[in-house]
């Protein structure tokens, strides 16, 4: 009996392997074909094949951008209002953030989300970003018109500069979806694939990078700076996707010249699997790597799904971002520590003004150190160090000091301050050193090295969420 069971497992394994291999070949050919829609498929009608080709000017409608976007020669402006005088093509930007949205049965999160997304960037950063809002409802004509009007009034400057685009798809685009009877989930899941494919096709030439978002998330402050920083930290350009959230299709970043292939794949498997599965296949097919940034930059805030009667109270376990409260001058410096820590939580994240924090992977020891070696000696005005976080309030420095010196010892990655003078102590996980204390310790002498040092052992790990250093810029 046991032998028969083993034989059965072997047969099942062979069949599964063959099926997976066949599926891989089909996907590969589809994604890399010169004309993906030339591949026969019972699931893709000829009308859908035509509709999916966004170079057909009858199929994409730009509802509400004051300027033509980079692919304007392929688009039709559907508003009764004429394009403003002086409309022109936009220059290519760094990042396109694509946000499909529909009217939810109960709570709506989109307007709050968009406000956070725009307000969490600087005016200079906004010049490098396109926000493309896709109104994906079939029948909510009045709601869509009201939302467009509201967005125009609230974000008139973003419309005028072309930063904000609002689009909708013609009904013809969805004719290949077929009938679903009473299966509302299958309809919802299939339409999601179409929606994402449409917005990807629309945005494929906008920018260097494309990021897919959902409409019910909140970002950290300066998420754009953190995204660029993570891109720059990659060892090479051979990545398929960078993730800034662990959930769903939130915060997934691609090279813009890849997203047309992903759109093709979404349409091919629109009837058989959800978006969350297809993009995993895509990552495998492209042959590059994917990387996730931790801590993540976007948190899911929605409870009510876009599918009626469905709730999804999902939270990203790696999203734990207290705001950088003080945002110091933090002059250029080299950072060193003798504390074991996770590679996703280096000391640089605590010193940077961008989101993130330092997090050790061991209990605090006597003389555990965090060292800041300034590139140029500084006249310090104020130093603040905050430890612990909302989700980990016990991971603080219980007993420690902040010290300074005019020199350092050591080489390579093993450097520390030499001849330190104490500037302040930790109380309730925080250290705050004011100008008077610095003057009393150093007079008018500039400081080369700052050091955070534990003075007693502790069981808890250590989170340093912010190091804020303010300097006298007149002394430069």
In order, the DSSP letters of 58-88 are: TS-EE-S-SS--TTGGG-EE-SSSPPPTT--
- Cis-peptide into 295, omega within 30 deg: yes
Bridge partner list, 358: 464
Per-residue pLDDT of the chain (476 residues; tens, 9 = 90+): 445 445 545 544 554 555 555 455 555 554 444 333 322 232 333 443 344 333 332 233 333 333 333 333 333 333 333 333 223 346 899 999 999 998 876 567 788 889 889 988 999 999 999 999 999 887 767 888 889 899 999 999 999 999 999 998 888 888 777 666 666 667 767 888 899 999 999 998 899 999 999 888 888 878 999 999 999 999 899 999 999 988 777 899 999 999 999 999 888 877 777 777 787 778 888 888 889 888 888 877 644 444 454 444 455 555 556 668 899 999 999 999 999 987 768 899 899 987 778 989 888 999 999 999 999 999 999 999 999 987 778 899 999 999 999 999 988 888 999 999 999 999 999 999 999 999 999 998 999 999 999 999 998 899 999 999 999 987 65
Q: What is the CA radius of gyration of the chain?
A: 27
**Do 63 and 83 touch, CB atoms closer than 8 A?**
no
Q: Residues spanned by CATH 3.90.550.10 within the chain?
A: 32-300
Residue (of 108, 114, 70, 74) closest to 92 by Cα position: 70
Domain formed by 32-300, architecture: Alpha-Beta Complex (3.90)
Task: Among 3.30.1240.10, 2.60.120.260, 3.50.50.60, 1.10.540.10, name the CATH number for the domain at 333-475.
Answer: 2.60.120.260
pLDDT at site 41: 30
Q: Residues spanned by CATH 2.60.120.260 within the chain?
A: 333-475
Give the CA count within 13 Å in the CB-facing half-sphere of 68.
12
**Do 118 and 125 touch, CB atoms closer than 8 A?**
no
Residue 385 CA, distance from chain mean position: 27
pLDDT at site 318: 54
Q: What are 454's two structure tokens?
A: 């534990």
Maximum Cα–Cα distance for the chain, whole Å? 87
pLDDT at site 467: 97
Q: Which backbone phi and psi does 121 adopt, to 5 degrees?
A: -125, 160
Task: Give the global pTM.
Answer: 0.56
């Amino acid at each position: 009996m046991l032998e028969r069971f083993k034989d059965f497992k072997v047969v099942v394994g062979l069949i599964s392997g063959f099926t997976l291999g066949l599926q891989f070949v089909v996907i590969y050919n589809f994604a890399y074909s010169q004309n993906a829609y030339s591949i026969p498929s019972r699931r893709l009608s000829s009308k859908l094949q035509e509709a999916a080709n966004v170079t057909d000017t009858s199929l994409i409608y730009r509802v509400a951008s004051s300027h033509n976007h980079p692919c304007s020669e392929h688009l039709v402006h559907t508003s009764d209002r004429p394009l403003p005088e002086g409309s022109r093509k936009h220059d290519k930007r760094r990042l396109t953030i694509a946000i499909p949205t529909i009217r939810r049965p109960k709570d709506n999160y989109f307007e709050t989300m968009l406000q956070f997304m725009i307000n969490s960037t600087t005016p200079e950063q906004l010049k490098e970003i396109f926000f493309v809002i896709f109104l994906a409802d079939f029948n909510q004509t009045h709601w869509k018109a009201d939302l467009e009007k509201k967005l125009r009034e609230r974000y008139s400057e973003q419309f005028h500069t072309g930063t904000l685009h609002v689009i909708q798809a013609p009904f013809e685009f969805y004719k290949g979806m077929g009938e679903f009877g009473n299966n509302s989930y299958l309809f919802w899941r299939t339409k999601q694939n179409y929606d994402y494919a449409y917005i990807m096709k629309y945005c494929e030439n906008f920018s260097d990078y494309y990021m897919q978002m959902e409409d019910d998330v909140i970002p950290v402050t300066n998420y754009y700076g953190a995204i660029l920083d993570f891109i720059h930290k990659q060892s090479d350009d051979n990545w398929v996707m960078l993730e800034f959230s662990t959930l769903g299709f939130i915060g997934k970043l691609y090279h813009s010249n890849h997203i047309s292939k992903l759109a093709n794949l979404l349409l091919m498997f629109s009837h058989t699997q959800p978006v969350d599965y297809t993009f995993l296949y895509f990552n495998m097919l492209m042959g590059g790597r994917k990387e996730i940034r931790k801590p993540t930059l976007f948190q899911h805030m929605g409870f009510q799904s876009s599918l009626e009667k469905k709730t999804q109270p999902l939270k990203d376990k790696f999203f734990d971002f207290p705001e950088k409260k003080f945002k110091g001058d933090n002059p250029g410096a080299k950072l060193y520590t003798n504390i074991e820590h996770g590679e996703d939580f280096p000391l640089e994240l605590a010193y940077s003004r961008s989101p993130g924090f330092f997090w050790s992977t061991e209990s605090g020891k006597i003389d555990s150190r965090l060292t800041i070696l300034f590139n140029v000696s500084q006249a310090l005005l104020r130093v603040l160090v905050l430890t612990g976080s909302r989700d980990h309030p016990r991971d603080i420095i219980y007993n420690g000091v902040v010290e300074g010196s005019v020199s350092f010892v050591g080489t390579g990655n093993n450097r520390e301050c030499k001849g330190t003078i104490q500037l302040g102590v930790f109380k309730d996980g925080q250290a705050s050193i004011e100008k008077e204390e610095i003057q009393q310790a150093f007079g008018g002498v500039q400081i080369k090295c700052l050091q955070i040092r534990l003075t007693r052992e502790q069981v808890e790990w250590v989170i340093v969420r912010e190091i804020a250093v303010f300097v006298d810029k007149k002394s430069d």
